[in-house]
Amino acid sequence: MKFLVINGPNLNLLGQREPGIYGEENYEALCQMVKDYAAAHGSTAECFQSNYEGAIIDAIHGARGVYDAIVMNPGAFTHYSIAILDALKAVDVPCIEVHISNVHQREEFRHKSVTAPACVGQVTGLGLYGYLAAMGYFLEKQSEL
């Protein structure tokens, strides 16, 4: 499978940003981890990160006909970006939403995801493993996608 792994705002600062919540691994380590996992399963993973909503929307549009599945952590855009919700609905590339932290154990405003309704499912609170869990699901279910 060809995976596109999208990370939204502030996730470029993984490892430095609130390590008690997001862990000590940096963004490069995350990308290497998803690439290695994909390769171990006869697949590929491209990583894209942006702090800009429009750039993320463009990346989702660009996935059409290029990638089999999207694994996305929209960061704070999760909680209010109707534009990212609409972008996911506009393309026929299945997406799983990932959150490193357990958003349900945190502030009330993080409990709501406006983007998850356009996703196959959501993984939250499993740390960086959540990205692999999402990829594993797609690999397992690829004949049904």
99 is catalytic: yes
Nearest CA to 126 out of 48, 22, 35, 31 is that of: 22
The residue (of 66 and 117) whose beta carbon lies closer to ligand DQA is: 117
| Residue 99 touches ligand DQA, criterion: CB under 6 A | yes
Which residue is listed with tokens 């942006």? 50
Maximum CA extent, the chain: 40
| Residue 115 touches ligand DQA, criterion: CB under 6 A | no
In the complex, minimum distance from the CB of residue 14 to ligand DQA, in angstroms, rounded to a whole number: 9
Distance, in Å, from the CA atom of 6 to the CA atom of 28, rounded to the nearest integer, reads: 13
The residue (of 64 and 111) whose beta carbon lies closer to ligand DQA is: 111
| Residue 7 touches ligand DQA, criterion: CB under 6 A | no
Q: Which of 79, 99, 104, 137 is catalytic?
A: 99
The residue (of 64 and 127) whose beta carbon lies closer to ligand DQA is: 127
**Site for ligand DQA (CB under 6 A): how many residues?**
10
- Alpha helices (H) along 12-142: 19-22, 27-40, 53-62, 82-90, 129-141
Question: Which of 49, 75, 118, 138 lies at the binding interface for ligand DQA (CB under 6 A)?
Answer: 75
Please report how many Cα atoms fall inside a 13 Å half-sphere around the Cα of residue 9, on the Cβ side. Answer: 12
